[in-house]
Structure 1
Amino acid sequence: MAAGVSVKHYGILSSKTWRLHRLLRKISPQRVDVGQATEIQSVRAATSASPDSQQSQKYCLDLVRSRDYEGFLSSLLLPEEARRSSLALRAFNVELAQVKDSISQKTIGLMRMQFWQTAVEEIYRDDPPNQPVSTELWRAVRTHDLTKRWMLKIIAEREKDLDDRAYRNLQELETYSENTQSSLLYLLLECLGVKNVHADHAASHIGKAQGIVMCLRATPYYSSRRKVYLPMDICMLHEASQEDFIRGRQEKHIRDVVYDIASQAHVHLQHARSFSHMVPAAATPAFLQTVVLEDYLHKVRKADFDVFHKSLQNRNPLLPIQMYLRSWKKTY
């Protein structure tokens, strides 16, 4: 089987997503085909042509599609030479992110984080573990000369997050977001071949906005499991207790907490855009997640900052087209 196996042949996409995929192909000046990513430059040992490499690529694509659908869509819209590496990085991020929710003891989580720290070190020694995400990550590193520091930062921050406690203040949430979401964006910029201080500055703010929004979006899920991670300083300011969120209350002081946190995400988004004229167009595909952030902030504002409102739980069916249009305009 050729290395450039199509997504449709693998049956990777659901019928609904595949119809969207076909639509994007029709309206895009360039084909948006994940399978084409296997045709980018080869790395040592011609791994992109081997059956094992095809399976590793498929594993990463399936993982990102099922656990980070918005990241999956944005990866589809990247330039051809960066798509496969983007999926590898997002699969790596998913693997780390899901550790916290999949363990019953912190010790187990620490062992998994140690595995990934060792894996990254081995990847940079050209000796990656025989594991699908590690294999694809190694390929991405060899193809784009990715910076190891950003990967290790993501691991270290996710490991600290295993303490399973609320953020003490908004600054702590921003630091977490910078070291995880912004670090991922720095790596995506490297996949795009962008080295620009203004693009890095935008990535920093967008990553912080994304981390804040993700914390808000996850609140109903974690509250149903009697866990609240919202910054304690904001909760204390409005005299909102963790029990208020666990009970799903919608009183004004609860909505005031959400308003303050959402406003900070909006501020970071505005900062990122304030110098967009200095960010090279080649960097903008890395920032397609801003469409997702805008969508959530608009919906939570429309719901009067009721983080439990049912409208916030529904996926926007127009999101793929909105992301495509943003990519076509080369803006963020």
Structure 2
Amino acid sequence: MTQEASDNGAICLDLLREIDRDRYLACLLSPADKRPAIAALYAFSAELARIRDLVREPLPGEIRLQYWRDLLDGKGHGSTEANPVAAGLLAAIERYRLPLAPLQAMVEARLFDLYDDPIETRGMLEGYAGETASALIQLTGLVLDPADAARHAETAGHAGIAQTTAGLILLMPLHRRRGQLYLPLQLLSAVGLDREAFLAGEDRQRIGAAIEAFAGLGREHLEKARRAGRPSPSLAPAFLTATLAAPVLDRAARAGADGLDRDLRPSQLRRQWRMLRFLMLRRL
């Protein structure tokens, strides 16, 4: 590993410590020689995910996404070395021969976050999750153990959907204030709600049923991930943050409509313990 790669990895870790503590801890629990590449992948994902938090209008967000499109297309602007996340990502792609297509799809998926259009169907949600969280698990797996990653693509796919569902549940209070909605309209319709009624937050009984059903969707994929097979010890670090989905989904199912206003995230200590436990048992 070059000194430059090590330095970029350290900067990516510092960024993750500030904006994505769970993935920061997951990096620390990953093999040291693979850590810079994993940190770069996670930092890249985190930068995409927080664009909506940094801009007031969609256009500046689209400009930020275009930067990453151009980088992955080999048309980067200026010196890549000036952006340690970009440099670290390109180094990881080269060293581990990572495919560009899923990284490019990850950028395109985040375009949805810039607008307030609803997710129409369950399939749309699963596609969004597949191109973000599931892809990130698979790419991390290619860094850790390429052969085993290929064998556990199904586990990664379902785990990523469960993780995305849990993450969206945790973000529901923020999304509601923005007027964003990630619960599929198909699901809302099944309990007698529409977008406006859910965001208004007044019909607590139906809203509770919708959140419970949404959590149920995540639990369904979590169970499918478990049935698809446990990852090997070498691949396990790729699934560390996905193992945090289960307690959130369980809490959301119990909280119902209170999930619109409550923080359902377990404590930092409990999350750390769950990740350590997963490395021992490898059960999501």
Normalising to structure 2: TM-score of the pair?
0.89
Q: Shift of residue 255 of structure 1?
A: 1.0
Amino acid at match of 2:223: Q
> Given that residues 213 and 293 in structure 1 are in contact (C-alpha distance below 8 angstroms), is that contact kept between their aligned partners in structure 2?
yes
Amino acid at match of 1:274: R
Q: Which of 37, 44, 47 is the equivalent residue of 1:95?
A: 47
Q: Shift of residue 128 of structure 1?
A: 3.6
**Runs of at least 5 residues in structure 2 that lack an aligned partner in the other structure:** none
Q: Does 1:70 align with 2:27?
A: no
Q: Which of 213, 230, 238 is the equivalent residue of 2:183?
A: 230
**In the alignment, what sits opposite 1:218?**
171
**In the alignment, what sits opposite 2:213?**
260
Following superposition of structure 1 onto structure 2, how do residues 1-332 of structure 1 map, counting pairs within 5 Å?
A: 41-42=1-2, 47-48=4-5, 54=7, 56-122=8-74, 128=80, 130-196=82-148, 197-249=150-202, 251-276=204-229, 279-304=231-256, 306-308=258-260, 310=262, 312=264, 315-332=267-284
> Given that residues 144 and 193 in structure 1 are in contact (C-alpha distance below 8 angstroms), is that contact kept between their aligned partners in structure 2?
no
Q: CA separation in 1, counterparts of 2:177 and 2:50?
A: 18
**Equivalent pairs, count:** 281
> Given that residues 199 and 280 in structure 1 are in contact (C-alpha distance below 8 angstroms), is that contact kept between their aligned partners in structure 2?
no
| SS in structure 2 at match of 1:164 | coil
Q: CA separation in 1, counterparts of 2:24 and 2:257?
A: 28
Q: CA separation in 1, counterparts of 2:178 and 2:256?
A: 24
Q: Shift of residue 47 of structure 1?
A: 2.4
> Given that residues 255 and 306 in structure 1 are in contact (C-alpha distance below 8 angstroms), is that contact kept between their aligned partners in structure 2?
yes
Amino acid at match of 2:213: D
What's the CA shift string for 1:147-176, capped at 9, x where partnerless? 111111101111244333110111111100
> Given that residues 205 and 257 in structure 2 are in contact (C-alpha distance below 8 angstroms), is that contact kept between their aligned partners in structure 1?
no
| Identical amino acids, percent of aligned pairs | 25
> Given that residues 150 and 183 in structure 1 are in contact (C-alpha distance below 8 angstroms), is that contact kept between their aligned partners in structure 2?
yes
Amino acid at match of 2:239: F
| SS in structure 2 at match of 1:318 | helix
| SS in structure 2 at match of 1:281 | coil
> Given that residues 166 and 232 in structure 1 are in contact (C-alpha distance below 8 angstroms), is that contact kept between their aligned partners in structure 2?
yes
| SS in structure 2 at match of 1:307 | helix
| SS in structure 2 at match of 1:229 | coil
Q: CA separation in 2, counterparts of 1:182 and 1:246?
A: 28
Q: Shift of residue 60 of structure 1?
A: 1.4
Amino acid at match of 2:205: K
Larger Rg: 1
Q: Judging changes above 3 Å, is the alpha-carbon distance between structure 1 residues 198 and 123 closer, same or farther for their aligned structure 2 residues?
A: farther
What's the CA shift string for 1:105-151, capped at 9, x where partnerless? 32222211111011123399xx8453111111122223322111111
Q: CA separation in 1, counterparts of 2:262 and 2:115?
A: 30
Amino acid at match of 2:178: R
> Given that residues 88 and 137 in structure 1 are in contact (C-alpha distance below 8 angstroms), is that contact kept between their aligned partners in structure 2?
yes
Q: Shift of residue 231 of structure 1?
A: 1.0
Which runs of at least 4 in structure 1 moved beyond 6 Å after TM superposition?
none
Normalising to structure 1: TM-score of the pair?
0.77
Q: Judging changes above 3 Å, is the alpha-carbon distance between structure 1 residues 107 and 225 closer, same or farther for their aligned structure 2 residues?
A: closer
| SS in structure 1 at match of 2:117 | coil
Higher RCO (CA-CA < 8 Å; seq separation 6+): 2
Amino acid at match of 2:25: L
Q: Shift of residue 313 of structure 1?
A: 5.0
| SS in structure 2 at match of 1:310 | coil
Q: CA separation in 2, counterparts of 1:244 and 1:313?
A: 25
Q: CA separation in 1, counterparts of 2:68 and 2:267?
A: 31
Q: CA separation in 2, counterparts of 1:225 and 1:309?
A: 14
Amino acid at match of 2:22: E
